[in-house]
Structure 1
């Protein structure tokens, strides 16, 4: 009878019957061994062969493909449904919808946006998850909190933190206020000594704290505040009386630079999963309208395209931006308290190579505080941008200030716009370090009650514009498809179920920053403090755009919503021969277009600074496969080419009409994208509009 004992009950001597025979597996069996032991030996052989095989595959993959393409055990899959499931059908008897295969975010006869795989190999080989590292190993010695009774902030020494500092026989601390002198400078008040705590005056927005022991400075920190202002309180109270206890939604906008919708899923899966699991509304077909941050934010905040923004509120002119009709002005005029904060003061949206604001643009302006913090608190630089500033990353300074602003005015009506660059601007991977923080941040907004009365917009401006992933097809689409999520508080959902229905439908519609601009006006109209949405007007440079709280038609095309071909994601492209006669001619003409653009820019006043460019080579070329309703006589090409002497890599989208004469048959759409960095080669140029096309003459020798 066969031995039926469990395998673990075999003795060492019996197990030796699995004598060594193969150097690969080290396992076989002797004749006469029990059937169960024979089976056991065979299982060992199979398992060891399997393990050896997997090891060989892993080693082969690691060295042939690269470490980023091997299974990432830390990869967190995001479970969601953002692809298009339905397509509008012409009027039929039963109004049924057509079920489509997965793979599209938007699908219609006018626009088909592909649902990208976040984990494509050509992108993942450049992605590596970054861990979060605290800026300091010890806690700050001081903190501030708002005292509702006295309506002032109180600065306190945290007694529990004293043990982390080398405090001698005496500890002396003082604080000084930070006062805005201009967009680029701040002043400081005299340093006021305090012992355990100090009540801060409501005349300053932030303080710098210094502590000494035995004449040695052992501590420096800074704290931004949202102090009570008499004029602001009067404005809030006057409009609240007119509301007659009507609930008025506040608006909190949290924006992150250079993160595509796909990279949000890839790099911050916990944050993305939180959004999907907690009934935020995603606008998966959100398409940018221009190249970098400034024009996309101007479309959102003003309703202008870049050309009209330059014409009506040029950032190059003193007071130019101050004259602009930013949406926060409209909210302020109708009883809202306003705030704006942005990290990395040197590259702020309205300051990089620009004049900025001559007067604070909002009630609470974080720039002076961050200017002082960057100068005084110490920290480090990561990928060319400030990372740690004192005890926190600079992005955390902005996020925490937004949290405090929303907390301070939770019972009032507010509009807050907060933007971060530092953990996302320069690299596809760096923002992954903030995943846990941002998920926790959204939860903190819930716990302090902000989500009960506020419409929250969590969004980006575009995807990553530079680096090795940008030249891939995935990178091309990612750059044009930022993320956008909207939260509606319960009382708005209850009062307006049609908004819920519209946002769910609009998830898979082509949408733009112009639509978001009109949506903000729509939200303001809900307050009852202003006329109808129609009376507010739409987006000045997109007449066909609309509020996202209303159903967006599926039949939208990029042309309908003022998106140039170069930024449009609605077409599929097929590869064409890069050295064909047509492609080479088109590429040369695009280079001539760039030279002409630089030569004529600002009436030719800057042309002498730059060396003319020449076509070096065409890297790749693609031709659009038209949708059903696109004109057949127009061919759309996307070209990636390099130039000399600047060794630049550019991407251009052109419309080619072979039926027209040469002088009229080519149209460069949008602007020409620069795919590689140009730090150091265009230092002679301070205008961001042509900086990426200029190679300074002194560089050429």
Structure 2
């Protein structure tokens, strides 16, 4: 609407601006011009000032804040529909469980999220590569002639390779270095090689290559069982896992990967809820069917040969004619090795740990957020992913079980994994192009969301930590033979599910081979009698209690804020701190108590009370408390059941374990037991 002020009410500055602008725009301004013309000129001036202002803001943002921040102004939106039918806003909705569908772009989380770009580890290509030759059934190591121009090669180039041999979980040995010219046929007696090249006695190149060599015993096993199959199609299993990524952060940080999954008929399990704190117990529930207590009892990782005695699911597949593989990056924090004894014998047919141990030591690279990032020419995660690709390619026409896990691009930060979005989308496409998806059931999943950092203390962070992502791919021949599996997985998208269910699902897949009895004969998950295969319909009436999820990890309740300094809350918080001190004092018969300073309640940060669903007992109150302790300045989160009708000694139950929300690097170095490390403040720290 035009400015209707009389001409005389325009200021001198406005008149000057208008005169200047009118000249620039070809509109002649003369004294006594109409107010409408003055208004027109003035709008042009304001628009120009606005454009200049926006340009200044952009330049400031780009150069002073950084290009990653500017990029975040345009987040890639993922188009999907994961909420429960007719209940938008909930992933699961029943009288027993209501899981909220979180907004990935909530401001309290996005203020800490900065998209990270992918950067190649080297500016030049590797000088060597390996490929499997089907005719001679061996790997061939070759020099890339086209890559020679990227290296300072003198008159004399000499190269040699040495095999990497596993000595133990922590050590590797190397064979003598075998010289070669343009190529070398590798023996099938070693799983990986280190390559070195010199010119004029100066080393100009070092690299390493993992392989999946032909093994006579493995081939005999595969052929023996294949004869029994009588040409029946047997599904293989490929599991690709990523540490510390919630379902929501997959959408937020890797939108292209997530969109690919939604667009290409993968089955999402949107109500997938973890069962314990960190990676080890959640993977043990998945791979063995045990909770943490029984895992420690039956196959303690602290004892030599403890894990070797455990009935991992890959053993069951191997016993029934499958070739098996396991690879995991960041060798120091591997799931079965961090503060643990690991495996005394290789747990699978093809074990990547020796190769990565050598690669981390020899190839050079860099550290990002405390973990190896680049290792030689690739990120360490890419070493694992590419090995999985090669394993699946090598045994495409056989039956295989592969378990591959990465930590390095996701473990320590909410943003870092965004750098792998394009790679992982392309990786899933590579699985398709090499034919893996035609005959394999592929499980793409995580163990939990981010457990530390500023976002973890938010309500979104609390739920994200408990809700990892899970997608399952069924090959066409399985969909055709078992349309009921397709129907069940679509229904189960909005059901409460757990790693125990996934454990039973793997057994169900093995039963499809016809090499073993019925699913019932295999047994379920030892520590979740009511859990079941995800290829069968899951009842909507499930509660966390039904599927062995402690209150502390359960996402089925809504919570309301309560006064943090109320008498009840303060008493509950003090009793939780006493519980932690008692736990440390009695752990391993008190043998470690002398190392740690007793903790004291410092303050309660926030307190919440659960709003029970239908059928929840009304006499029990469930509180979630976030509190800090001294002298370790720790931030903890605990969930307690409080029954005010019982005497004091019986009215409080701490459920699950107590979560540590901030890092504790350096303050618990005297403690090598991961179970109590987060509750210990070493006495030497306290003076």
TM-score interval w.r.t. the shorter chain?
A: over 0.9
**C-alpha separation in 2, matches of 1:619 and 1:441:** 43
Deviation track 1:467-500 (CA, whole Å, cap 9, x = no partner) reads 1110011100000000000000011111111111
Displacement after TM superposition at 1:628 (Å): 1.2
Shift of 1:84: 1.0
1:343-390 CA distances to partner (integer Å, 9 max, x unpaired)? 000000000000000000000000000000000000011000000000
| Equivalent runs, 1:657-668 vs 2, <5 Å | 657-668=643-654
Query: Cα gap change, 1:528/1:615 in structure 2, threshold over 3 Å: closer, same or farther?
Result: same
| 1:629 positional shift | 1.2
| Paired residue secondary structure (1:227) | coil
Shift of 1:220: 0.4
The 8 Å contact of residues 25 and 48 in structure 1, kept in 2 or not, is answered as no
**Structure 1 residues 365 and 659, CA, compared in 2 at 3 Å: closer, same or farther?**
same
2:103 pairs with 1:117: yes
Question: Secondary structure of 1:71's partner?
Answer: helix
Q: 1:437 maps to which residue?
A: 423
Preserved contact between residue 27 and residue 45 of structure 1 (Cα < 8 Å) = no
Is contact 2:69-2:115 (8 Å) kept?
A: no
CA distance in 1, matches of 2:195, 2:330: 21
Q: Over residues 547-570 of structure 1, what are the superposed CA-to-partner deviations in whole Å (9 max), with x where a residue is unaligned?
A: 001111111000000000000000
Shift of the alpha carbon at 1:50?
5.8
Q: In the superposition, relative to structure 1, how do residues 582 and 23 fare at CA in structure 2: closer, same or farther (>3 Å)?
A: farther
Query: Structure 1: how far apart are the matches of 2:487 and 2:523?
Result: 24
CA deviations over 1:642-692 (Å, ceiling 9, x no partner): 000000000000000000000000000000000000000000000000000
Superposed displacement of residue 72, structure 1: 2.6
Is residue 2:251 matched to residue 1:269? no
For 1:584 and 1:70, how far apart are their aligned partners in 2?
Answer: 44
Q: Residue 80 of structure 1 contacts residue 276 of structure 1 at CA under 8 Å; is this kept in 2? A: yes
CA distance in 2, matches of 1:70, 1:130: 12
Contact 2:393/2:436 (<8 A) preserved:
yes
- CA shift, 1:70, in A, is 8.2
Say if 1:28 and 1:127 are closer, same or farther in 2 by CA, change over 3 A. Answer: farther
Q: 1:114 to 1:61 in 2, by over 3 A?
A: farther
- Distance in 1, Cα, partners of 2:281 & 2:423: 29
**Alignment partner, residue 86 of structure 1:** 86
Residues 69 and 125 in structure 1, CA contact (< 8 A), matched pair in contact too: no
Q: 1:399 to 1:20 in 2, by over 3 A?
A: same
Deviation at 1:28, TM superposition (A): 9.7
TM-score normalised according to structure 2 size: 0.94
Q: Is the 8 A contact 1:335 1:413 kept in 2?
A: yes
After the TM superposition, list the runs of 4 or more consecutive aligned residues in structure 1 that deviate by more than 6 angstroms: 1-17, 21-28, 31-39, 52-71
How much does 1:85 deviate? 1.7
Once the two structures are superposed, the pairs formed by residues 320-331 of structure 1 within 5 Å of their partners are 320-331=306-317
Q: Deviations over 1:106-145 (max 9, x none)?
A: 1111001011111111111111011111111110000000
Show CA shifts across 1:271-305 (max 9, x none).
00111111101000000000000000000000000
Partner SS, residue 621 of structure 1: strand
3-state SS of paired residue (1:235): helix
- Give 3-state SS (helix, strand or coil) of 1:20's partner: helix
CA contact (8 A) 1:319 1:357 kept: yes
Q: Deviations over 1:186-212 (max 9, x none)?
A: 000000000000000000000000000
CA distance in 1: counterparts of 2:562 and 2:501, whole angstroms: 35
Determine if contact 2:610/2:622 at 8 Å carries over to the other structure. Answer: yes
Shift of 1:20: 3.5
Give the deviation of 1:65 after TM superposition: 13
CA distance in 1, matches of 2:185, 2:10: 77
Indicate the larger mover: 73-82 or 603-612.
Answer: 73-82
Deviation at 1:44, TM superposition (A): 2.2
CA pair 683-662 structure 1, distance change in 2 beyond 3 A: same
Instruction: Give the C-alpha shift of residue 236 in structure 1.
Output: 0.4
Q: Is the 8 A contact 1:68 1:126 kept in 2?
A: no
Contact map agreement 2:72 2:115 (CA 8 A) in 1 = no
Distance 1:588 1:65, change over 3 A: farther
| Structure-2 separation of matches of 1:226 and 1:22 | 76
Contact 1:68 1:124 in 2 (8 A): no
Matched residue SS, 1:40: helix
Shift of 1:15: 15
SS in 1 for 2:3: coil
Contact 1:681 1:696 in 2 (8 A): yes
Aligned to 2:63: 63
| Contact 1:69 1:124 (8 Å CA) reproduced | no
Say which is worse superposed, 408-417 or 48-57, in terms of deviation.
48-57
Distance change (3 Å), C-alpha of 1:6 and 1:690 = same
Conserved? CA contact 2:7–2:35, under 8 Å: no
Q: 1:378 to 1:27 in 2, by over 3 A?
A: farther
Offset at 1:19? 1.4
Residues 186 and 62 of structure 1: is their aligned pair in 2 closer, same or farther, counting only changes over 3 Å? closer
SS in 1 for 2:589: helix
1:59 Cα deviation (Å)? 11
SS of the equivalent of 1:18 reads: helix
Shift in alpha-carbon separation, 1:71–1:358, aligned structure 2, 3 A: closer
Name the CA shift for 1:47/1:195 in 2 (closer, same or farther; >3 Å). same
Once residues 70 and 576 of structure 1 are traced to their aligned partners in structure 2, the CA distance between those partners, rounded to angstroms, is: 38
- Work out the CA distance in 2 between the residues paired with 1:178 and 1:6: 89
Gaps in structure 1 of 5+ consecutive residues: 89-102
| Runs (5+) with no aligned partner, structure 2 | none
3-state SS of 2:468 partner: coil
- Equivalent pair of 2:191/2:210 in contact (CA under 8 Å): yes
Distance of 2:395 and 2:32 partners within structure 1: 85
